[in-house]
Amino acid sequence: MALDRWIALILLGICITYGYTAWFTMDADLAPFMRRNPIWPSTFPKVLSIFGIAASLIILLGLEKGEQKIGEIDHRRLTDYFLGQALLLLGLMVVYALCLRPLGFLASTSLFLITGSLILGERKWHIMIPVSLIATLAVWYLVQEVLGIFLRPLPYFMGT
């Protein structure tokens, strides 16, 4: 069996377990007044598990296969791709997650976007820095002010 089908089989098992949890165990502790609501806390996990099971089955049954076109990834020739950039970006994501609390959202997200664009090859500093700062401030404003979810904007040592 090909690598993509093995991965799809593993994901199918995860999605079935996730779906079982969403359908049968998440709603057991709901308060009686919440059981009459049209949307429960388990609604999104239920939909997500259905989509995951459908996507895994499509890959397992080979329905997405056609003839390989130019631009598609050939898993037999992984060394021909930019694996170094991909691994650096994955490492940068881990560092970003670890720096969110100590550095705060604004600094860690800005540094993540700037460093990520450097890894991907962007060299126009006059575009890269303002875009990352505007994107960071926009996301922080939307999450903090519009959604009302607290994000620590400044480093931990500077207080709340």
What is the pLDDT, as a whole number, of residue 146?
Answer: 83
What is the pLDDT, as a whole number, of residue 28?
Answer: 75
97 and 152 fall within a common domain: yes
For residue 13, the enclosing domain spans 3-67
Does residue 103 lie within any of the structural domains? Answer: yes
106, 140 Cβ separation under 8 angstroms: yes
What is the pLDDT, as a whole number, of residue 153?
Answer: 78
What is the pLDDT, as a whole number, of residue 71?
Answer: 61
- Summarize pLDDT for 123-148 with one digit per residue, the tens: 899 999 999 999 999 999 998 888 88
Does residue 72 lie within any of the structural domains? Answer: no
43 and 89 fall within a common domain: no
What is the pLDDT, as a whole number, of residue 117?
Answer: 93
Count the domains in the chain. 2
78-to-11, 44, 82, 88 alpha-carbon distances in Å = 21, 35, 8, 16
What is the pLDDT, as a whole number, of residue 30?
Answer: 76
53, 19 Cβ separation under 8 angstroms: yes
What is the pLDDT, as a whole number, of residue 55?
Answer: 93
78, 109 Cβ separation under 8 angstroms: no
Does residue 16 lie within any of the structural domains? Answer: yes
Q: How far apart are CA 80 and CA 124, in angstroms?
A: 27
Query: Which stretches of the chain score pLDDT less than 50?
Result: none
